[in-house]
């Protein structure tokens, strides 16, 4: 009888020890996810900070960087895209915008899409709805200025749309109002 009691106590201790494994594993998973989100947030903050430094936090400076990046996205830059940027920047920054700034922006390193998106997501509340719509309209005009609207450009446009806080589901309707083509 003593053997059965000892056996039962041993089984109960083993059950307790084995139930700790899943709890620890769950804790490790939750901690890893927390660290991943914290790291992602930290990196996005650094990217947004770099963009703010490069643009001065100014909407016009940001728009110019975003439009130049948009033109470079498909790996080819042509004169139609440069003209589309100059026209869009005159609408965004005013008639006094110096078109020479477009060429200057193309010659320097510039910012990448992730940095631009991070900044826009972090600062979208500081920009008016009209500024956000103007940016999306300008991006669309640059993307289609070469006569092509490639998948990478579509994806970038959707990323910018989400970053400004517009609904991805309603975005095609908004973007359709900018042009005659079908955008999905």
CATH of the domain at 112: 1.10.3680
**Is the separation of the CB atoms in 102 and 72 below 8 Å?**
no
pLDDT at 2 over 60: no
Q: What is the pLDDT of residues 115-173, one digit of tens each?
A: 888 888 888 888 898 998 899 999 999 999 988 888 888 888 888 888 888 876 666 66
Terminal-to-terminal C-alpha distance of the chain: 75
90 lies in some domain: yes
What total of structural domains would you count in the chain? 1
Task: Count the alpha carbons within 13 Å of 162 in the hemisphere toward its beta carbon.
Answer: 10
Domain with 132, as residue range(s), is: 40-176
User: How confident is the model at residue 91, as a pLDDT?
Assistant: 93
44 lies in some domain: yes
Euclidean distance between CA atoms 8 and 11, whole angstroms: 5
What is the reported pTM? 0.67
DSSP code, position 96: T
182 lies in some domain: no
13 lies in some domain: no
**Is the separation of the CB atoms in 141 and 153 below 8 Å?**
no
């Amino acid at each position: 009888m003593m053997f059965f009691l000892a056996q039962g106590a041993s089984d109960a201790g083993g059950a307790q020890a084995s139930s700790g494994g899943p709890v620890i594993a769950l804790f490790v998973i939750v901690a890893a996810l927390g660290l991943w989100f914290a790291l992602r947030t930290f990196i996005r903050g650094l990217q947004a900070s770099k963009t703010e430094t490069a643009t001065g936090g100014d909407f016009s400076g940001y728009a110019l960087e975003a439009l130049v990046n948009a033109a470079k996205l498909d790996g080819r830059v042509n004169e139609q895209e440069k003209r589309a940027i100059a026209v869009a920047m005159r609408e965004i920054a005013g008639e006094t915008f110096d078109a020479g700034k477009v060429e200057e922006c193309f010659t320097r390193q510039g910012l990448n899409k992730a940095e631009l998106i991070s900044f826009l997501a972090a600062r979208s509340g500081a920009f008016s709805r009209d500024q956000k719509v103007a940016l999306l309209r300008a991006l669309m005009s640059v993307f289609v200025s070469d006569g092509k609207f490639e998948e990478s450009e579509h994806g970038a446009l959707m990323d910018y749309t989400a970053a400004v806080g517009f609904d991805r589901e309603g975005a095609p309707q908004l973007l359709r109002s900018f042009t005659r083509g079908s955008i999905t």
